[in-house]
Amino acid sequence: MKKIGFIVDGFISEPQELILKKGYGYFPFLTDIDGVVYKDGIDLDQEDLLHKLDQGKSVKSSMPNVKAVLDTVDKMTKEYDEVIYFPIGSSLSSSCNNIATICKEYKNFHVYDNCWVGDQYNEIINHIKKVYEKYQTLDKVFEELEWIKNNSIIYVLPIKLNYLIEGGRVNNSFKKFVLKTMSKLRIYPYVKFIKQHVSTAGIARGVKGAIIQIFKKLGAFVKAKDLKTLTENFKIDWIHGIDEEVNKTVRKVSKEKNIKIDTERWTSSAIAVHTGPEAFSLSIMPRLEKREI
């Protein structure tokens, strides 16, 4: 029986030690804070790295080391019949396309552009393993991945807008809007990430107002008729930063609305460089254990 392997990067927001124990390959992003380079998920735990990023004057991220990428791909393509890499989405980083180009000679290595984050990768990998085990074909695997992607969305609320502006992940019209109005008013814009596209999703007065809007939009996206449908059939994941007041507000609104958050974890530095160490995301996807294979 043919075997399928998987590679992830810092967007999974887990330490390398845990990732390798699961049998995944791992590409760590590099985060430069005032001239000191840290490997995401390796050199410091996520919380400590976020605090260093918050205190840094000059921060930037770069794609994983090319040699490390090639070594990992070479090893895994020999161990598995097919290998799929789930990168940070191409609309957020050029590393997706760069790694595809670097590794193009490996015919059984496949880059699947996506819009997932955190524990979603674990759920998807476990599901896709079962799909491949049953059908033994990548056509069915990619068909299933497309279905999951079409039913998944991420909302991101940056707290300090300078990271979003300087990170180059928003369009020019939005930048002008932010620069004109947001600096003077307590208005919080938030963005959505769906099908490899990033766009403005809405604005709210105050953090709590934005959180309430995001929860409503998650339900609307999956067309949930009620909270029971939402929590039974869909999984909500929360990636958060180091602003404890913001984190408390997310928990409070979730409790008030009786919405279950399935997982929470620290954001990776690769994300925080562009959104700020206080930013958070809420994402939704189908509960794959309920889907027939």
What pLDDT is stored for residue 172 in this prediction? 59
Rounded distance between C-alpha atoms, residue 129 and residue 293, angstroms = 11
Rounded distance between C-alpha atoms, residue 91 and residue 89, angstroms = 5
Residues 229, 21 contacting (CB under 8 angstroms): no
Q: Which of 126, 274, 95 is nearest to 193 (CA)?
A: 274
What pLDDT is stored for residue 176 in this prediction? 52
What pLDDT is stored for residue 154 in this prediction? 97
Tell me the torsion sign for CA atoms 36, 90, 194, 191. positive
Q: Do domains 4-150 and 153-290 have the same CATH topology?
A: no
Tokens 């953090």, located at residue:
207
Lookup: tokens for 254: 């979730």
What pLDDT is stored for residue 13 in this prediction? 93
Opening angle at CA 58, ends 53 and 62, nearest 5: 80
- DSSP assigned state of 27: E
Tokens 């930013």, located at residue:
279
Opening angle at CA 55, ends 52 and 56, nearest 5: 85
Q: Considering the domain 4-150, what is its CATH architecture? A: 3-Layer(aba) Sandwich (3.40)
Reported CATH class of domain 153-290: alpha beta
Q: What is the dihedral of CA 18, 27, 8, 274, to 10 degrees?
A: 100
Structural domain boundaries of the chain?
A: 4-150, 153-290
* Positions in the chain short of pLDDT 70: 162-185
Rounded distance between C-alpha atoms, residue 183 and residue 191, angstroms = 17
Tokens 């985060």, located at residue:
31
Taking the model in full, what pTM does it have? 0.92
pLDDT in tens, 26-53: 999 999 999 999 999 999 889 999 999 9
Share of residues in the chain with pLDDT > 70 (%): 91
pLDDT in tens, 156-204: 999 877 666 665 555 555 555 554 566 566 788 899 999 878 888 998 9
Residues 167, 274 contacting (CB under 8 angstroms): yes
Rounded distance between C-alpha atoms, residue 9 and residue 96, angstroms = 10
Q: What is the dihedral of CA 284, 288, 290, 293, to 10 degrees?
A: 150
Rounded distance between C-alpha atoms, residue 5 and residue 146, angstroms = 18
